[in-house]
Amino acid sequence: MPRPAAFLDRDGVLNRSAPLHQYITSPKQLRLLPGAGGALRNLQDIGLALVVVTNQQGVGKGEMTLNDLDEVHQEMTARLASFGVHLDGLYACTHLESAGCACRKPRPGLLLRAAAELDLALGQSVMIGDSPADMEAGAAAGCGTRVRILRPGDAKDPYAYVVCRSLPKAVRWLAVHRAAEATATSIGKR
């Protein structure tokens, strides 16, 4: 039976983003954002599969190798495991933005692939990201909820269902929202 998931962008949601036009190319550069581990644990505890979906065109540009990217992801996975977090999937588009591939967000390819491979219910899933491309990918894939992490100065996002200032705040909102939906559903069945 398909299960709901939390699709999560990586840079700017789980870890600090690299400076503009630069990439996190080694595990030493990876800095989890405050509260990210606990927030993912909370998502896991409410029954959501955890799937990271990330654009990483630094590989396509030759600024890092697939091995470099794998090492960064292994380090992230290990750090999250220290919070009791298990990632169900980690999907990366390494193509150049100009390649026009189906997997680079804002296209939904990474989410659709993960849903097919992991038996996920997209309509019951949430996309959490920090860019319009994340929200567009979630909408195109059919994610029932989309949460945008806004930084100071960011504009509102028409594809976002709700906006929050951090992953922990987004998860708190989502937990309340899911509890309210469950209550409404159980009342409707009486």
Residues forming the active site: 9, 11
Q: Are 52 and 10 in contact (CB under 8 A)?
A: yes
- CA 65 to chain centroid, in Å, comes to 22
User: What number of CA atoms fall less than 13 Å from residue 5's CA on the CB side?
Assistant: 31
Q: Helices in 66-162 by DSSP H: which ranges?
A: 66-81, 109-118, 132-141
Contacts for 39 with CB less than 8 Å, ≥ 6 apart = 167, 168, 170, 171
β-pairing, 145-149 with 49-55?
Answer: unpaired
**What single DSSP character describes residue 56?**
-
